[in-house]
Amino acid sequence: MPRIVIGICTYRRPEGLSRVLDSLQHLALRSADDDVGIVVIDNSPDGSARALCDLKAKTSRFPVRYVNETRKGLSNARNAALSESRALGAKYLAFIDDDEMAQKTWLQDLADSIETSGAIIAAGPSYPMFAAPPGRWLPIEAYAYAPRERDGFADDASSANMMIDFTRLDQLGLTFDLSFNETGGEDTQLVTKLRAAGEKIAWSSNAVVWDTIPLDRMRPAWLFRRWYRTGTTEGRLDGSKSRTLKGRTRNAAKGVVRLGYGGLRIALGLVHAVLGKPQQLVASCYTFCRGAGYLSSAFGYSFDEYANRRYR
Per-residue pLDDT tens digits for 96-134: 999 999 999 999 999 999 999 999 999 999 999 999 999
Report the share of the chain in percent with pLDDT over 90: 74
Greater confidence (1 vs 2) lies with 2
Other CB atoms closer than 10 Å to residue 63's CB: what's the count?
15
Fold observed for domain 4-216: Spore Coat Polysaccharide Biosynthesis Protein SpsA; Chain A (3.90.550)
State residue 249's pLDDT score: 82
Residue 20 binned pLDDT confidence (cut-offs 50, 70, 90): very high
pLDDT at 245: 74
Q: Indicate the domain borders of the chain.
A: 4-216, 220-298
- Model confidence at 310, pLDDT cuts 50, 70, 90, reads very low
Residue 203 has pLDDT above 80, yes or no: yes
Tens of pLDDT, residue by residue over 148-167, are 888 899 989 999 999 999 88
